[in-house]
A and B are shown apart, each in its own frame.
Chain A
Amino acid sequence: MAKVLVVTSGKGGVGKTTSTAALGAALAQMGQRVVVIDFDVGLRNLDLVLGAERRVVFDLINVVQGVAKLQQALIRDKRLENLWLLPASQTRDKDALTDEGISRVIAELRTKFDWILCDSPAGIERGAMLAMRYADEAVIVTNPEVSSVRDSDRIIGMLDSKTVKAERGEFVAKHILITRYDAGRASRGEMLGIEDILEILATPLLGIIPESQDVLRASNVGSPVTLHNADSPPARAYIDAVNRLLGETIAMTVPTERKSFMSRLLGRRAA
């Protein structure tokens, strides 16, 4: 049974695309058949984060409009044979996305994949609404920062009212993914803590991704962080999150750098 999962946030720049790539790759690494769809028409970036930017021929709008077949637009990852990308259009008007067209594309993808990850654009306009429209589950990416938490709350309200599931009187399963978390700053009272965010948003936690230089290193080279350095703290946090999505119970920790004995001894920072 295929699952449609939207990665959303309201606010921009919190890590939706990074998280879509990391979660999608981790799912594929575990043997799931995964397609990630970029809904950010005009500002596509999932192709770049996945290192597939030079392989885009057709896009989501071409498929919606019937110009291209789904199989022609899907791009298979070069490293993970189970991971596919359906890119957004970089040039066309976002009004070309229609509810009916997206419904058709998602229905077709459901027959071919285990997971359909929809990378939502920022904001609450058409692209964001359509990205969440057919979702069974939602990952709400939130930074420990007031504007991000406020926008997440707004998005949660929309997931509970504007999705097909909500209209049928069912629920979209919602999960909070906290990104760019700095445990040190939170313990010093300089940053909202995990408990604060969960209490305010009243939504279960999927994972805590620590602030880390590994995220930028991975996107620099066009590789999901879970693939680029699977042992890095953010990668381990994403892998834990994916295991929870697959139904496993895993203790909620914030992964930290694994320091070797020598680097500990010398007091050096692990690279």
Chain B
Amino acid sequence: MNLLRLINGRKATAPVARERLQILLAHERGLRGQPDLLELLRAEILAAVQRHVDIDQDKIVIRMERGPQVSTLEVDIEVPNGAHKSLAAVG
């Protein structure tokens, strides 16, 4: 790699392509034929919160990070004080 860089004056990018593909495809193959777990969790968490609180869509921040071993789902919801839905509305 160092030698390549010396000759080339540039960093070899093919190894980066290879690694990115390996991580991505490991995920996509796992998901084939079944719903995306992270997507499912995101939808159900939001639905659960929305049953009780009126949420401003702009105040929700969702981040997903897919890694080789572990993925993270970060759901950041700003809940205004006194935003409880009435019990009647909840049903």
Binding site for B on A (CB under 8 A): 145-146, 149-150, 153-154, 157, 161, 186, 188-193, 196, 200
A-chain residues with CB within 8 Å of residue B21 when the two chains form the complex? 146, 149-150, 200
> B18, A150: Cβ atoms under 8 Å?
no
Contact of B25 among A150, A190, A191, A196 (CB under 8 A): A150
B-chain residues with CB within 8 Å of residue A154 when the two chains form the complex? 28
- The chain A residue sitting closest to B7, CB to CB, is A188
CB distance from A164 to the nearest CB of B (A): 18
Kindly state whether residue B8 has any CB partner on chain A within 8 Å. Answer: yes
The CA-CA distance from A160 to B15 in the complex, in Å, is 28
Kindly state whether residue B71 has any CB partner on chain A within 8 Å. Answer: no
- The chain A residue sitting closest to B1, CB to CB, is A189
> A153, B15: Cβ atoms under 8 Å?
no
A-chain residues with CB within 8 Å of residue B70 when the two chains form the complex? none
> A189, B15: Cβ atoms under 8 Å?
yes
CB distance from B7 to the nearest CB of A (A): 8
Contact of B14 among A150, A153, A190 (CB under 8 A): A190
- The chain A residue sitting closest to B5, CB to CB, is A189
> A189, B18: Cβ atoms under 8 Å?
no
> B29, A192: Cβ atoms under 8 Å?
no
The CA-CA distance from A18 to B15 in the complex, in Å, is 29
Excluding A153-B29, A200-B21, 7 further A-B contacts by CB distance (< 8 Å) are A146-B17, A153-B25, A157-B29, A157-B32, A189-B13, A190-B10, A196-B17
Q: Given A188-B8, A200-B18, does the pair A150, B32 have CB atoms closer than 8 Å?
A: no
Interface string of B1-24 (1 = CB under 8 A from A): 100100110101111011011101
Q: What are 23 A-B pairs with beta-carbon distances under 8 A?
A: A149-B21, A150-B21, A153-B29, A154-B28, A157-B32, A161-B32, A161-B33, A188-B7, A188-B8, A188-B12, A189-B1, A189-B4, A189-B8, A189-B12, A190-B12, A192-B14, A192-B18, A193-B14, A196-B17, A196-B18, A200-B21, A200-B22, A200-B25
